Copies of this chain bind each other. A is one copy, B any other.
């Protein structure tokens, strides 16, 4: 299959590219990097070059908005709305029959209680609203063209970044906490009692590959959960323990207003589409990050 892919240099897109190439698919990268096969800046361009996706069987959009994008809110929404429309317009022009979008668990609103794909949406942050709006643009295209469409809603994604030097997502806890742990202390911005589901990027690659081979008609929402589910504080503790074990030095955890709110709202991040996604365990990820960053920091 010939598959157009945005975000191939990012955490999810890289894993998707690897999984799809490994399964024998041809990847057509779409983005602003000089080495992309189709050059477009999704934050500013309203269209892809004419015929850009000609001959493609699928479009996988793994370059949705990030938290960092919201440093410029207008630009972030433009990326979510105009960028997604540009991709979908080109996909319609080329008669692309399969669409996939990596959205976010945050479209459900506060991550509390049992959440599966039948749960009502309630996007509250700008980040969540932008992802939900992009999802809806995919739904509209699916309705217009009949393209089989996957909307994946992963929670906290982890995995070894394709390049530690160029990685830009250090505010995400799967990367921030291992890095902080190397410095001897992890500082939480909140009490850390909110629960998160952690999913390996590799598993998202597997999901994309599985779905493209088995694409049902209509729109499929997949929460794409991983096996690990714990509070932010518990994840910090895991990072502290692993970093301490690796380096033989204690790692402190600091948080404002601690145990009072530790009756954390429960979260069960569930799916009706397959089960937990495969990939390295959260422990393996943290150990890998600690080692990679430790090696990098050493002379």
**B-binding residues in A (CB < 8 A):** 73-74, 77-78, 81-82, 120-125, 129, 132-133, 136-137, 139-140, 143
Q: How far is the CB of A295 from chain B (nearest CB, A)?
A: 42
Out of B78, B121, B125, B143, which one reaches A140, CB within 8 Å?
A: B125
Contacts of A120 in B (CB 8 A): 120-121
Closest 3 CB pairs of A and B: A124-B140, A129-B133, A129-B136
Neighbouring B residues of A133 by C-beta, 8 Å: 129, 133
Name the residue in A122, A123, A129 with the highest tally of chain B Cβ atoms < 10 Å from its Cβ: A129
User: Given the complex of chains A and B, what is the CA–CA distance between A77 and B84 in angstroms?
Assistant: 14
A133's nearest neighbour on chain B, judged by CB, is: B129
Kindly list chain B residues whose C-beta atoms are within 8 Å of the C-beta of A132: 132, 136
Cβ contact of A121, chosen from B77, B78, B121, cutoff 8 A: B121
Q: How far is the CA of A122 from the CA of B138 in the complex (A)?
A: 12
Residues in B with CB closer than 8 Å to A140 are 124-125
Q: Please indicate the chain B residues that have their CB under 8 angstroms from the CB of A123 in the complex.
A: 136
A sample of 5 inter-chain contacts (CB < 8 A) reads A73-B81, A73-B82, A74-B78, A74-B81, A133-B133
Measured in the bound complex, the distance between the Cα atoms of B139 and A82 in whole Å is: 24
Please name the residue on chain B nearest to A130 by beta carbon.
B133
Chain B residue at minimal CB-CB distance from A128 = B136
Could you tell me the distance between the alpha carbons of A97 and B121 in the complex, rounded to whole angstroms?
25
CB distance from A104 to the nearest CB of B (A): 14
